[in-house]
Structure 1
């Protein structure tokens, strides 16, 4: 009986973990802070979603401004291969990262 309950709980946990998907949510700027008004186009929102949903599976997400464009290029190539992303997905993520620099 215990094995059955534990097995069911493990299956439910696995299904819940595989079924969650993050979506991009626009954050309001903090009071008194000015931010660069970068309106995300639908293509950039897709890149942001791909970045958040694929990259966060293995490690914490880095702010795009943490690295320069030149530093991001090899990082994205390497991680894109590990995540098995196609060229279109990689272009979308790269465009999002570049738009935030």
Structure 2
């Protein structure tokens, strides 16, 4: 009788330890409003280029970290380093200016 109870208890421990654990999702609220009115394919493409190309080498800055005039020389300098063509830079520039 004891061996049956021990066997059942051991099996129960194994089954419960292998069960899928639910993960909790942490919701983070931001205070910045999301601009959805200005989302065009060019802006969305620019955001994708900005996230994927610029984020490879350094942390991504918020568009509001610099003024429109400050972004111009930064983007020109980064275009050469990232080997981006003029159309790609125009998309990134449109994305940055849409966020300002």
TM-score relative to the length of structure 1: 0.65
* Structure with the greater alpha carbon radius of gyration: 2
Aligned counterparts, 1:31-50, within 5 A: 33=31, 35=33, 37-39=35-37, 40-50=39-49
Equivalent pairs counted in the alignment come to 72
If asked which structure has higher relative contact order (CA below 8 Å, sep 6+), I would say 2
Deviating above 4 A after TM superposition, structure 1's stretches of 4 or more consecutive aligned residues are none
Q: Which runs of 5+ in 2 are unaligned?
A: 1-27
- RMSD value, Cα: 1.9
Look up the SS of the partner of 1:30 in the other structure: coil
For the residues of structure 1 that align with 2:32 and 2:57, how far apart are their CA atoms? 32
TM-score relative to the length of structure 2: 0.65
What is the CA distance between 1:36 and its match in structure 2? 5.4
